[in-house]
Amino acid sequence: MKISFNSCLLLGSMLLLLGACRQSSEHKVLKLAHGLDPSHPVHQAMVFMGEKLKEKSNGQMTLEIYPSGQLGSEQQCVELLQIGSLSITKVSAAVMEGFTNNYQVLGLPYMFRSKEHSFNALDGEVGKEILTSTEPFNIRGLCFYDAGARSFYTLNQAIETPDDLKGLKIRVMKSQTAMNLVSAMGGSPTPISWGELYTALQSGVVDGAENNPPSFYTSHHYEVCKHYSINEHTRVPDVLIISTVVWNKLNDQQKEWLQAAATESVKEQRKLWAASEEESLAKVKEAGVLVTYPAKEPFAEKVQDMLDSYKDQPELYDLIQRIQSTH
């Protein structure tokens, strides 16, 4: 991802004046910005992280959190982070594919056998390697947050088998892996920004999209899409990232406090996310959405070639095998 200085000059100037990281002799403040609503479980986990950081450091380190896109879009926050004008932000792992190929494997379909399998892999050595793989781009991952499993939701028909996707335009993230996935299943992938998706669904520009239950609910996409097929084709996590410009200025003790607070927030976020998923599914059902649970095997068979294609890329295929061998 190239830094677009025109898109973030104003925000960058503002944050440079404020300082991504303010420090007195005894107190350091880290600025964290993201695009989610304060009610979102990820934001709540960040608040928890801030409390833990303050507690562990005896008030010597604190977080200032700016939710709801106050300091710019997801891309703008990443750009600001790269130049050191912002300390921390949250992105989807799919966005990180633009920096290193290692992140591609996290977006591969049916890479994880279950939620527990994904947690074990991301919390282990494989996850740590992926988090640090973007350091050449001034980005270091602190932890992975649960973003649930992505499934298809559509305007007019349930997706019971891959054949039901034929001829349908399905919104995807701007990720080559996501586009390949929908194509392999027979659909027509259509990259559209998240903020424009409701209108695109309402006007029929696309026939459906794919995402997790909380995102389907909080986006109000259930108001126009009345079919939600829980096939759980991917489990793309969120990533909490820090600017290495900021990270490298921290001493060892400060790094330890921050990493420990981030790690502890992961467990809290997973609990919050599970509750949010349950509530979101209940709410969309109440709103008249038909929620179905198609067999996953036919979908997995359609995309097996995507995994096999990585045999020509030994490093990534080794990463895939290490993830799959994780218990």
User: What local confidence, expressed as pLDDT, does residue 17 receive?
Assistant: 42
User: What local confidence, expressed as pLDDT, does residue 95 receive?
Assistant: 87
What is the model's pTM?
0.86
User: What local confidence, expressed as pLDDT, does residue 98 receive?
Assistant: 87
At 115-132, the pLDDT tens digits run: 999 999 999 999 999 999
Indicate if 150-235+279-324 has the same CATH topology as 5-146+237-277.
Answer: yes
User: What local confidence, expressed as pLDDT, does residue 25 receive?
Assistant: 54
User: What local confidence, expressed as pLDDT, does residue 11 receive?
Assistant: 53
When comparing pLDDT for 80 and 35, which is higher? 80
User: What local confidence, expressed as pLDDT, does residue 314 receive?
Assistant: 94
Cα–Cα dist 299/232, whole Å:
10
Instruction: Extract the tokens encoding 108.
Output: 């591969």
**What residue segments make up the domains of the chain, in order of their start?**
5-146+237-277, 150-235+279-324
Give the 3-state secondary structure of the chain: CCCCHHHHHHHHHHHHHHCCEEECCCCEEEEEECCCCCCCHHHHHHHHHHHHHHHHCCCCEEEEEECCCCCCCHHHHHHHHHCCCCCEEEEECCHHHHCCHHHHHHHCCCCCCCHHHHHHHHHCHHHHHHHHCCHHHCEEEEEEECCCCEEEEECCCCCCCHHHHCCCEEEECCCHHHHHHHHHCCCEEEECCHHHHHHHHHCCCCCEEEECHHHHHHCCHHHCCCEEEEEEEECCCEEEEEEHHHHCCCCHHHHHHHHHHHHHHHHHHHHHHHHHHHHHHHHHHHCCCEEECCCCHHHHHHCHHHHHHHHHCHHHHHHHHHHHCCC
User: What local confidence, expressed as pLDDT, does residue 8 receive?
Assistant: 47
CATH class label, 150-235+279-324: alpha beta
Compute and round to an integer the Cα radius of gyration of the chain.
20
Share of the chain above pLDDT 70, in %: 92
At 160-193, the pLDDT tens digits run: 999 999 999 999 988 888 899 999 999 999 999 8
At 7-66, the pLDDT tens digits run: 444 554 454 445 566 665 568 999 999 988 898 899 999 999 999 999 999 999 999 999
Cα 167 from chain centroid (whole Å): 28
What is the pLDDT of the chain when averaged over all its residues?
92
User: What local confidence, expressed as pLDDT, does residue 259 receive?
Assistant: 98
CATH number 3.30.2310.20 is the correct assignment for the domain at 5-146+237-277: no
Q: Which residue, chain included where needed, has tokens 């218990």?
A: 327
User: What local confidence, expressed as pLDDT, does residue 173 receive?
Assistant: 85
At 209-256, the pLDDT tens digits run: 999 999 999 899 999 999 999 999 999 999 999 999 999 999 999 999
User: What local confidence, expressed as pLDDT, does residue 1 receive?
Assistant: 47
